Amino acid sequence: MRVVVALDESRAYALAESLEDEGIEVVATVAAEAIARSLADPASEVWESLAAADALVLPASRSALTVGVVAACDRNGVRIVPLGERAAEVRLARSFGLADPIPAAAEGWRVAEAVRSTSVGAVRAAAERGRVVVVWGAHGAPGRTTVAIELAVETARLRGHVALVDADTHAPSAAIALGLADEGPGFAAACRQAERGALDAAELTRLSVPVGGADGIVDVLPGLNRAARWPELSERRVAAALEACRGWADVAVVDVAASLESDEEIVSDLEGPRRNAATLAALREADLVVAVAGADPVGIARLLRGCAELRAVVGTTPVVVVANRLRAGPLGIDARGQVRRTLERFGGMDEVVFLPFDPRAADAALLAARPIGEVAPRSPLAQALRRLAARVEAEHPRAQAEVIPLGEERTRRLPLVARRARRGRSGDARSA
């Protein structure tokens, strides 16, 4: 049995000696940061060493475990033994169909067992399909992108792999808010690959940008760097890309634009592109919709006017209503009660999640280009966003009923139509 070890210099030499003691021949040691570059040239010495090896030991990092490295190993019939223990490293290995990594500091005998094992490199069984959570809001910048970012970050702390997708064709801004370069491929490239049938977990990992820390990492698919490129996000492409995201992430949080018009009545070419197709496609694919409204008279009125259109698109899909930037200034006494009563009376929405007006935390997050939960974790807004994430998680079909997040008792609500029907039957019984 012969292997190539691609690790940091000190660790590579120590592991090579241990493997030799276990009867495994080490044909070459390579710096981890150089393995991808070396294997890009089939005439390199590293390529020749790999061709003579049976396995490659390397860290499960984005710089070492790349599409090119995996392709080179497949071409030469070489198994890959990834090392790592962090959630992002496990996720990266699984995206390439590899077995879960073994700890980076594992003893030589354990690495030798992994090298000899026939299960290493076997394709991992397909996991359960992930969920798509779409964050929508009426016109007027109610805070859709902020809520989408924070919801993705907080959900990553509750559930494994979370993706943040910017599918806004009017004003994409997730990359700017997170301090990411918006010149990369992002979601538009994922849509093009999906149309060609070439979008898989490995490709999504390559196109995404990781954001977060030890508590949870979110893979971000940035949006369009110019709004004029909106024809690239067609309905068919977006639907196919989100379907691929289901097999890649446990939860995909999608930020979309406000407009819900289909434009057919004002466009003669029925097969032509639609600027709102991305929003409509995402909402149709959604397992849960988070509807964001500004907690003021204008924002609430806009949400109520858009409710009928939203329900016509999403059908019976559950909708969580969020009243953002709640403050007494524009509403007077009992601002929370006024918003709640208005939404229940005119929209039949008797469950509302409130987010406080916290400009200090929001400004600090924008200044640092980081999520609010990282910059100001104890702020009222950060705590409210955690409760929102727990509320969304409670809607998950696999959520355990006996586990109540954040110490709050919650009961699952029936869809809006079912609640109205139940009220009607109760009213008939009382009148009888």
Residue 417: per-residue pLDDT: 41
Residue 398: per-residue pLDDT: 55
The verdict on 108 and 252 lying in the same domain is no
Residue 271: per-residue pLDDT: 61
Average pLDDT over residues 85-92: 82
Residue 397: per-residue pLDDT: 63
The verdict on 85 and 180 lying in the same domain is no
Nearest of 253, 182, 166 to residue 216 by alpha carbon: 253
The verdict on 136 and 35 lying in the same domain is no
Residue 409 pLDDT greater than 50, yes or no: no
Q: Tell me: the pLDDT tens digits for 5-15?
A: 999 888 888 88
The span from the CA of 188 to the CA of 241, in Å, is: 9
The verdict on 194 and 71 lying in the same domain is no
The span from the CA of 283 to the CA of 79, in Å, is: 41
- Would 400 be classed as within a structural domain? yes
Helix (H, G, I), strand (E, B) or coil at 212: strand
The verdict on 166 and 306 lying in the same domain is yes
The span from the CA of 354 to the CA of 359, in Å, is: 15
Assign residue 313 a region (left: φ > 0; alpha: ψ between -120 and 50; beta: otherwise): alpha
- Would 419 be classed as within a structural domain? no
Residue 124 pLDDT greater than 50, yes or no: no
Residue 431 pLDDT greater than 60, yes or no: no
The span from the CA of 313 to the CA of 286, in Å, is: 10
Beta bridge partners of 137: 292
What is the domain count for the chain? 2
CATH code for the domain in which residue 363 is found: 3.40.50.300
The span from the CA of 217 to the CA of 157, in Å, is: 8
Which tokens sit at 343? Answer: 């939404």
208: CB partners within 8 A, 6+ apart: 163, 219, 220, 221
Q: Tell me: the pLDDT tens digits for 44-65?
A: 888 888 888 888 999 988 888 8
Q: Tell me: the pLDDT tens digits for 210-229?
A: 887 656 789 999 999 888 89
26-41 burial code (b ≥16 CB/10 A, e <16)? bbbbbebeebbbbbee
The verdict on 100 and 135 lying in the same domain is no
Angle at CA 74, nearest 5°, toward 72 and 75?
Answer: 65
Residue 266: per-residue pLDDT: 54
Residue 316 pLDDT greater than 70, yes or no: yes
**Average pLDDT of the residues of the chain:** 84
Instruction: Give the whole-number percent of the chain exceeding pLDDT 90.
Output: 48
The verdict on 65 and 199 lying in the same domain is no
Domain of 41 in residue numbering reads as 2-116
Report pTM: 0.71
